[in-house]
Structure 1
Amino acid sequence: MTEPESTRAILDDAWGHIPQTRETTAGLGSFTRLRIERIISIVVGLGSVALGAQAFFAALGPGQESPGWHVPLMVMTFVPLAAMLVACLAGRGVRLFAGLFALIYPLALILWPIATVGGSADPDNQPWIWYLVNVATVASVLAFPLLLQIVWTAFVPILFGVVRLIQGAFARDYWFSVALDVSFALILGGMLVTLGWVFRSVAANVDETRARAVESYAAAAAADAAEQERIAVAALMHDSVLAALIAAERARTPRERTLAVAMAREALTRLANTEQDSEEGSDEPREAASLADDIERAALELGVHVRVERSVTESTPSMPGRIARALVLAATQAVANAAQHAGGSGLAVTVEGSADPAHVRITVRDTGAGFDLDRVPHDRLGIRASIFARVAAVGGTSSIESDRDGTTVQLEWREGTP
């Protein structure tokens, strides 16, 4: 299985543990938010049906408007309301039609004093348009961003209060009833906006946590697959190394020695590749200067912040991708060793390159207590496999000098080597 296919298989397996519905396939990462939006639109639609029906039946009775204004105001108000209700229950165009009603209703309120000029008004008898005040505020919850929702929740009830006072010529009898109506509308509208904000915030947090969990699952699955592959390679390595040693021991002619060397190199290459991650990249030629960026990035993933000093001439030749990867991985292992065993004391990394002679050299230094390479246990592969074997497998050279003043790891590749 190729790398892209393996990655897709892991992600498909991760998403397979989550219930798949129309909402999840419509917007991955917004599973809960989409459901909450749908629930809010249905609840708003049902509540608005009740208030809209109350307002409609009240409008069918004797109205406070002039005869020429009553029907146009009803059409102007109830047609957008009906479109919003259908959109809410159908789950299509909710934001558009809710925003349309939220904008048209204040216009109807502004026209109300003109429509009721010369008519009789009772401060204790609410007009039909009153029942739709909170429908307009909750429509803003469906259509507008949070800041505009708050503004609309305060604006619409206050506008209704001003309109009623104008209709009653600011008579004293109107002030008390209008204050009660506006207070009720403000409180209810504030509760609706708050509930919408809370539900949406919880849904967003759930979606974010869910996305992180899926990402963690995919990373864990990839790590497990890599570990299983390393185990399989280790089993093959035993046969490869054993065969190379037998061939070297039995080699008598130049051709046999050449074959033994090729077998040994193949074994070293397999050993070096056991620790390469799944994002090796292509084997296209790489510029020497890019090695410094790769080492900084790899060190940062290990939690080590290091600035790689660059001393690469423009004429430095490119190198095959597999050689560049081997040098970067070996240098990263040296950085990891310096961070682990020397605490990162005096850590410095240098990448040098020139065309005469054509070579690339990477130097990793620290000022730790140093160590004795001969006393490192043979089963510790951090140096022997991850540095020496890896660089040797691509035809490079490596050396380590360590004493009480620190450790210096030097990796070098010269053009013309495999």
Structure 2
Amino acid sequence: MTADPDRATLDAAWGTIPQSHQTGTELGSFTRIRVERIIGLAIAVGCVALGGQGFVAALDATAVLPGWYPALLLVVFIPLVLMIIACVLGRGRRVLGALFVLAFTVSVLLWPIAAAGLSTTPDAEPWPFYLLNVATVAAVLSIPLSWQIASAIVIPVLWGVVRFIQCGLDPAFVMPVLLDVAFALILGGILVTLGWMFRSVATNVDTARAQAVSSYAAAAAAAAGEQERVAVGALMHDSVLAALIAVERAESERARTLAVGMSREALTRLANTDSDAEMGSEAPVDVESVARAIEASAAEQGYALRVQRVRASTTGVAIPGVVARALALAAAQAVANAIAHADAAGLEVSMVSSGPPADIGVRVRDSGPGFDIHAVPDDRLGISASIMTRVAAVGGRAHIDSDARGTVVTLEWGEAG
């Protein structure tokens, strides 16, 4: 009994969590984008709670000197509000988060000057204390992992040093300040660890998913190739081999005619293996149907194509339905090749017809980079079977010219042979 593939993927992701890979990963994957969005919203909620508490405490204008009071509030709380808005909107979070970390660090450094000479007590926490871990989560939001760790350590320790400077190393402040610093360090470490862990898991889940999809695509391609080889082999064994035997044993004119018909049918079926196309009827059809079929095939591929029609005779030209279908399918394959490999650069299709006797030629031209037709592998049916063999099966001729200036595929059929 096999394990649940989703569970196995998650187990693989947990088992391969990197130590610091998440900071260099682009946000271009399904799970990682959503985890970043969740982190941003969670930080916004936390910043509203702690920032509101800090703002209420900051309303006490006696905590700093009168000249410093409005300046510190503007320097700290304007970047904080902008960062919260960016987290909610999901845009500009990194820049504004880094701006708040910088602004808050500057305000902490200026605190001994702003509060110089003012009395304080061990039980009264200045308002920057409530924003210590807000600065930590802002670092988690905006800067690389190594700088996140540094911020989670430096900012609380710097606050402790500032408080000791403010209180003049009064013994009554030692234990409360150390407890504040320890609390900020522990909570900051937890926040940094959670951010790293969630991002790492998301990144590795996406990696495992991409590997699973790649493996599935490779297996599907291998299975399709094997199925195609089996189908071609069956055709070769049943149709072509039977036709060859009939040719070898043909002694009378009727037997030779039958052998030719069997050979033509076998070649046509071999050419249509990749598209499951039918041979078509021998009933005469207008050559206009070939042009319409080519245009319809191009439209199915999202390309608007107009076949240029040139008639050398005003008399209506009709060709067997099997010929019309073979020419249309072969030209459609040439158009598909031009779209796929030449990006439809300079793609033009022209059709020339005359009669009676009926004669028709289709030319597909593009100005792409071209290719070496002799370097195309034998198992690629797009040219050998879908174009060359398909046209040859109805008694026509196909020719391909390709160089650096582009590729020209010419298909011809004449009633006179």
Q: TM-score range by the shorter chain?
A: 0.5 to 0.7
Deviates more, 1:229-238 or 1:106-115: 229-238
Equivalent position of 1:233 in the other structure: 232
Equivalent position of 1:192 in the other structure: 191
Provide Cα deviations, 1:322-376, integer angstroms capped at 9, x if missing partner: 467359xxxxxxxxxxxxxxxxxxxxxxxxxxxxxxxxxxxxxxxxxxxxxxxxx
The alpha carbon displacement at 1:121 in A equals 1.4
Q: Distance in 1 between matches of 2:89 and 2:194?
A: 22
SS in 1 for 2:67: helix
Q: Distance in 1 between matches of 2:66 and 2:127?
A: 15
Q: How does 1:104-253 map to 2 (within 5 A)?
A: 104-237=103-236, 238-250=238-250
Change (3 A) 1:29 1:142: closer
Equivalent position of 2:315 in the other structure: none
SS in 2 for 1:92: coil
Instruction: Calculate the TM-score normalised by the size of structure 1.
Output: 0.55
Equivalent position of 1:325 in the other structure: 377
Deviates more, 1:239-248 or 1:101-110: 239-248
* 8 A contact 1:117–1:167 mirrored in 2: yes
Q: How does 1:17-416 map to 2 (within 5 A)?
A: 30-237=29-236, 238-250=238-250, 321-322=373-374, 325=377
Change (3 A) 1:180 1:320: closer
SS in 2 for 1:63: helix
The alpha carbon displacement at 1:222 in A equals 2.0
* 8 A contact 1:102–1:136 mirrored in 2: yes
The alpha carbon displacement at 1:251 in A equals 7.1
Q: Distance in 1 between matches of 2:61 and 2:138?
A: 27
SS in 1 for 2:78: helix
Q: Distance in 2 between matches of 1:89 and 1:50?
A: 14
Change (3 A) 1:169 1:224: same
The alpha carbon displacement at 1:231 in A equals 3.5
SS in 2 for 1:68: coil
Identity of aligned residues (%): 48
Deviates more, 1:231-240 or 1:164-173: 231-240
Q: Distance in 2 between matches of 1:28 and 1:40?
A: 13
Provide Cα deviations, 1:368-409, integer angstroms capped at 9, x if missing partner: xxxxxxxxxxxxxxxxxxxxxxxxxxxxxxxxxxxxxxxxxx
Q: Distance in 1 between matches of 2:27 and 2:109?
A: 43
The alpha carbon displacement at 1:62 in A equals 4.4
Alpha-carbon RMSD across the aligned residues, in angstroms, is 3.3
Counterpart residue type for residue 144 of structure 1:
I
Change (3 A) 1:204 1:323: closer
SS in 2 for 1:87: helix
Specify every segment of 5 or more residues in structure 1 that has no aligned partner in the other structure, as ranges. Answer: 1-26, 275-281, 283-318, 328-418
* 8 A contact 2:44–2:88 mirrored in 1: yes
* 8 A contact 1:157–1:182 mirrored in 2: yes
Deviates more, 1:149-158 or 1:231-240: 231-240
Specify every segment of 5 or more residues in structure 2 that has no aligned partner in the other structure, as ranges. Answer: 1-25, 275-336, 338-370, 380-417
The alpha carbon displacement at 1:248 in A equals 3.1
* 8 A contact 1:77–1:105 mirrored in 2: yes
Instruction: Calculate the TM-score normalised by the size of structure 2.
Output: 0.55
The alpha carbon displacement at 1:217 in A equals 2.2
Provide Cα deviations, 1:244-267, integer angstroms capped at 9, x if missing partner: 2321332799xx8xx99xx69x97
SS in 2 for 1:164: helix
The alpha carbon displacement at 1:106 in A equals 0.4
The alpha carbon displacement at 1:153 in A equals 0.6
The alpha carbon displacement at 1:207 in A equals 0.3
SS in 2 for 1:95: helix
Change (3 A) 1:69 1:240: same
Change (3 A) 1:193 1:251: farther
SS in 2 for 1:325: coil
Change (3 A) 1:324 1:71: closer
Change (3 A) 1:172 1:323: closer
Q: Distance in 2 between matches of 1:144 and 1:28?
A: 14
The alpha carbon displacement at 1:227 in A equals 3.1
Change (3 A) 1:244 1:197: same
Counterpart residue type for residue 157 of structure 2:
I
Q: Distance in 1 between matches of 2:100 and 2:154?
A: 15
The alpha carbon displacement at 1:28 in A equals 9.0
Q: Distance in 2 between matches of 1:97 and 1:169?
A: 35
Q: Distance in 1 between matches of 2:226 and 2:89?
A: 50
Q: Distance in 2 between matches of 1:320 and 1:186?
A: 67
Counterpart residue type for residue 32 of structure 1:
T
Provide Cα deviations, 1:246-304, integer angstroms capped at 9, x if missing partner: 21332799xx8xx99xx69x97xx79x99xxxxxxx9xxxxxxxxxxxxxxxxxxxxxx
Change (3 A) 1:69 1:28: closer
